[in-house]
Copies of this chain bind each other. A is one copy, B any other.
Amino acid sequence: MLKRNWVMDQIRAVFQNYGYEPLGTPAFESWDLLKKKSGEDAVNQIYYFRDKSDRELGLRFEWTASLARVVSTHRELPKPFKRYAIGPVWRYERPSEMRWREFWQMDVDVVGVADPIADTEVLAVAVDSLKAIGFKGFKIRLNDRRLLEALVEVSGLPKERYLDAFRAVDKRGKIGDEGVLEELDKIGAPRENSQRLLDLTSIKGAPSEVIVRAKTLVEGIQKGLDACEALSSIVEYAEGYGISGDIVVDLGLARGLDYYTGPVFEVYAEGFENEGSIAGGGRYDDLIEIFGGEPTPMTGVSLGPDRLVALLERIGAFEGLNLAPRVYVISVSESVRPKAIEVAQQLRRAGVSTEMDLLSRGMRKQLDNANTKGVSKVVIVGERELAEGCVAVRDMSTAEQKKVKLEELLEYV
C-alpha cells in the first residue's frame, strides 16, 4: 500500500503537471449504461446487482464509461476537457473462485480534441508517468484502427466482420499464427485472404518506413489514408513532446476493446518487453454518441498501479525510497515518557515521520521495535541527557550515537 500510494502520488503529480483535472465519479453506474459501453466479454466481468429499490446497477469495471456518462449529460463542460481519474475498478473474472477482484486504474483522457495532438499528449503523460516512478527506456507500439480496418478490406475479408478480425489478430501473441487463421476461418474467410491479413498485420518498424508502406497498401481507401495521416501527425508531435525516439508503428496492434475509432497505442518498458504493455489507450470518437450525447472526440490512456508496483519491486525501485518512519523516539524510563512524547510531537509537527512506543516497553524492546520498523534514526530520551537539555541520537545504519541539544534536534535529524 505504501508503495502503491507512492506510485500513485508520483503519477498524479505528472497528470497535474500536464493540466489534467480530477473528476470523481461514483463506484456504481446503471447497468444499462455499463452494458452500452462494453463488448460482451466485458459485460460478463461486470459486478452486477439489484439494489433495494430494484434498480439494476454495476460497479465500474474501468473509468471510460463513467467519463462518457458525465460528458454526454453535461454539455456545458468547457472543451477541451482534460480529466484524470484514480481509483479502484472491479472485475468479476472467475465466478467459480470465492474471490471478487478489485484493482486500481489511473486514467487521463482528453475530451473535445479531434487532432492527434491529444493522442500524443496522453502518450507523453503515460511515458512521463512511467519515468517518474523509475522506468527507464520505453517502446511505444502505435497503430490506428481505421488502418487495420482498411487492411481487412484489402485482404478481401468480409468487411462487416472487421471487429471479429481485429479480435483474432489481437490474440496472435497468445494463440499464434495458426490460431489466428483458425479464428478467421470461423468468420468465413478464405485461407488465402486470412494469410494476407496476417502478412499485412506483421508489418512493423520505424514510423517513417511503415507509414509510407501502409499508404501504398491502402491506396484508394480513405479511412486508411486518414489513419496514415494521423499516425504521421502523432510521430511529428511526439518530437516536441520528447517521446519520438521510442515509437514503433505496428500494423498488428488492435487492442481488444471494441470502441476505439482511431489511433491506438501501448507502452512497453525496457527490460519488461515480455510482460505485456504497462500503459495503453487510444481514441474513441463515437462513444458519446452511443451514449446519446453530441458527437465528441475523445482519447485517453490508462495505467495500472498494482501491476506497476509488482514490476518495480523486481528492479528494486523502492529501495532507498524510505517509505518507513524516519525517527523512533525511545523513552529510557516511565518518568521521562511525557518528555519523549513532546519530542516526538515536535518532530511530527515539523513533518518528520516519527514513531514511538505505546506499550511502556523497556529500552531493549523499544530498540528492537525501532529496528523492525526500519527507521534511520533513534532519539533516546533519558534523564541524564535531559538534565543537560539534550537527547542521544543514534544513526541506525552506522550505530553511531551522538548527544544533540533539544533545540538542534529537528535540524539534526
Q: Are B47 and A51 in contact (CB under 8 A)?
A: yes
User: Would you call A55 an interface residue if the criterion is a C-beta within 8 Å of the partner chain's C-beta atoms?
Assistant: yes
Given contacts A100-B51, A240-B345, A341-B241, A1 and B23 within 8 Å (CB-CB): yes
Cβ contact of A352, chosen from B17, B28, B112, cutoff 8 A: B17
Q: Are B24 and A359 in contact (CB under 8 A)?
A: no
How many Å from the CB of A11 to the closest CB on chain B?
A: 13
Assembled-state Cα–Cα distance A95/B349 (Å): 44
User: Would you call A4 an interface residue if the criterion is a C-beta within 8 Å of the partner chain's C-beta atoms?
Assistant: yes
In A95-145, the 8 Å CB interface with B consists of 95-96, 98, 100, 102, 110, 112-113, 115, 117-118, 121, 124, 128
Cβ contact of A341, chosen from B2, B95, B118, B240, cutoff 8 A: B240
Q: Are B117 and A358 in contact (CB under 8 A)?
A: yes
Q: When each residue 69-92 of chain A gets 1 if its CB lies under 8 Å from chain B and 0 otherwise, what string results?
A: 000000000101000000010101
Cβ contact of A5, chosen from B22, B47, B239, B341, cutoff 8 A: B22
Given contacts A17-B354, A52-B48, A242-B342, A115 and B360 within 8 Å (CB-CB): yes
User: Would you call A372 an interface residue if the criterion is a C-beta within 8 Å of the partner chain's C-beta atoms?
Assistant: yes
Q: When each residue 324-368 of chain A gets 1 if its CB lies under 8 Å from chain B and 0 otherwise, what string results?
A: 010000000000011111100101110111111011100000000
User: Would you call A187 an interface residue if the criterion is a C-beta within 8 Å of the partner chain's C-beta atoms?
Assistant: no
User: Would you call A401 an interface residue if the criterion is a C-beta within 8 Å of the partner chain's C-beta atoms?
Assistant: no
User: Would you call A50 an interface residue if the criterion is a C-beta within 8 Å of the partner chain's C-beta atoms?
Assistant: yes
A: number of interface residues (CB 8 Å): 75
Q: Are A19 and B115 in contact (CB under 8 A)?
A: no
Contacts of A242 in B (CB 8 A): 342, 345, 349
User: Would you call A318 an interface residue if the criterion is a C-beta within 8 Å of the partner chain's C-beta atoms?
Assistant: no
Q: When each residue 28-48 of chain A gets 1 if its CB lies under 8 Å from chain B and 0 otherwise, what string results?
A: 100000000000000000011
Assembled-state Cα–Cα distance A337/B47 (Å): 45
Q: Are B52 and A353 in contact (CB under 8 A)?
A: no
How many Å from the CB of A245 to the closest CB on chain B?
A: 14
User: Would you call A13 an interface residue if the criterion is a C-beta within 8 Å of the partner chain's C-beta atoms?
Assistant: yes
How many Å from the CB of A315 to the closest CB on chain B?
A: 22
Task: State the main secondary structure of chain A at its contact with B.
Answer: mixed
How many Å from the CB of A24 to the closest CB on chain B?
A: 5
How many Å from the CB of A54 to the closest CB on chain B?
A: 10
In A173-228, the 8 Å CB interface with B consists of none
User: Would you call A49 an interface residue if the criterion is a C-beta within 8 Å of the partner chain's C-beta atoms?
Assistant: yes
User: Would you call A18 an interface residue if the criterion is a C-beta within 8 Å of the partner chain's C-beta atoms?
Assistant: yes
How many Å from the CB of A249 to the closest CB on chain B?
A: 20
Assembled-state Cα–Cα distance A268/B124 (Å): 45
Of listed A80, A121, A345, residue having the most chain B CB within 10 A: A345
Q: Are A353 and B17 in contact (CB under 8 A)?
A: yes
User: Would you call A16 an interface residue if the criterion is a C-beta within 8 Å of the partner chain's C-beta atoms?
Assistant: yes
Residue of B with least CB distance to A15: B353
Cβ contact of A348, chosen from B2, B17, B113, B342, cutoff 8 A: B17
Q: Are A359 and B80 in contact (CB under 8 A)?
A: yes
The 6 residue pairs across chains A and B that have the minimum distance between CB atoms: A240-B341, A49-B49, A19-B355, A1-B22, A17-B348, A240-B338
17 contacts between A and B (CB under 8 A): A16-B325, A17-B348, A27-B88, A27-B90, A27-B102, A49-B50, A49-B51, A53-B96, A55-B98, A80-B358, A115-B358, A115-B359, A124-B345, A128-B349, A240-B338, A240-B341, A241-B341
12 new A-B pairs (CB below 8 Å) besides A1-B24, A17-B347, A240-B338? A4-B24, A17-B353, A18-B355, A19-B373, A49-B49, A49-B51, A115-B360, A237-B338, A240-B342, A241-B341, A242-B342, A242-B345
